[in-house]
Amino acid sequence: MLVLAALTALAVISQGQPDGFNGTIYRLGNDHVEVIQPVDGSGINLTLETKAENLTLLDEEGRQVGINATYLFWRGNNIYSIAFERHVTGDLVYFMPQQGQQFILPLDEAGQVRIILPPGYTTGDRILGIARPAPDEFQGDDAGDVLTWRNTSGYQFIEVNYYRENAPQAMMKIFGILVGTALILLVEHYASIRRLRAIREDAEKSANSSR
């Protein structure tokens, strides 16, 4: 299913982004990340922290090109040496597992990076989650908010913490409930103090009157 989705979407993506973006795209899902990496040559080497799945190569016309990939796990890294059956200008697509609402991308070299959040999620609230470093561009989109870094030189990694778009409203409701509950408890506390004070004053009056 992942391969089919990649092939249908990348026929358009492989033609380039309308804003001139030509870096690597990371499309975040609920349980995986779809990586779309531009290529121009007869092969590429990848060193990844997690294992890649469903390696697919498309040329400029969106046609699938055959590849020959060798894999090596060395010192905690997943190393791929991928040879193309011909010189290709296009996109290499693969998938990596993803869990939770945090995405950390180690950066080995400078370039352009674009991260697309899952539909219904966003980032930017300092309490719920932000992107570090801040992206150069942020675009809200029903298909998934888009964060773009035009130049990643000087950065060791990109970290994006994201949350559901309705999370701030839900948090405010919870905060309102907590504040309301605290006020009720405070009122009851002061009412109890007043009742105890009245009881004590009545007891003192009764003691004085009996002397």
Q: pLDDT for 84-135, tens place per residue? A: 999 999 999 999 999 899 999 999 888 999 999 999 999 999 999 999 999 9
How high is the pLDDT of residue 200? Answer: 75
Q: Which two tokens stand for residue 19?
A: 């804003």
pLDDT higher than 80, residue 154:
yes
> What is the spatial distance between Cα 192 and Cα 6, in angstroms, rounded to a whole number?
66
